[in-house]
Structure 1
Amino acid sequence: MEIIKLREDYIKLGQALKAAGLAESGVEAKYAAQDGLIQVNGETVYQRGKKLVDGDVVTYKGETIKITK
């Protein structure tokens, strides 16, 4: 499980995927979201700009990212 520590109050989904090395670009994150391939807290999300906050858990490509403060 990858852990991303927040520097601000939130991080956008696309930025989190790139920071974790699961997306090489914002475009890749955008298409993954549009295709419904990403889950946040167990629910499919379709917006790459979704704001993630402390405690959120992202699942993509069989990998898990936890957002912490």
Structure 2
Amino acid sequence: MNTVYINAAPIELNKLLKFESLVSSGGEAKMVIENGLVKVNGSIEKQKRKKLNVGDIVQFMEQEFIIALDI
């Protein structure tokens, strides 16, 4: 599992995918979310702007990421 450090919580799901270079653009992030390819805390998430907080786990393309606060 990879750790994603953020400066402030929450962060939007689509922005996380883009900032972590899991997708090439914001449009692609929205598309993969709408198509049900992303899970948050074990459930398929279709909200593009889903607010992620510290401790949330995101799964995409057989990778897992946990959100942590960068202190």
TM-score (norm 1): 0.91
Aligned residues: CA RMSD: 1.0
TM-score (norm 2): 0.88
Equivalent in the alignment of 1:40: 40
Aligned to 2:44, the other structure's residue is in SS state strand
Aligned to 2:7, the other structure's residue is in SS state coil
Tell which deviates more after alignment, 28-37 or 17-26: 17-26
Distance in 2, Cα, partners of 1:67 & 1:5: 6
Tell which deviates more after alignment, 50-59 or 16-25: 16-25
Gaps of 5+ in 2: none
Give CA deviations for 1:4-45 in whole Å, capped at 9, x if unaligned.
112112111011111222111111111111111100000000
| Number of residue equivalences | 69
Distance in 2, Cα, partners of 1:47 & 1:64: 18
Runs of 4+ in 1 over 4 A off after TM superposition: none
Deviation at 1:2, TM superposition (A): 2.7
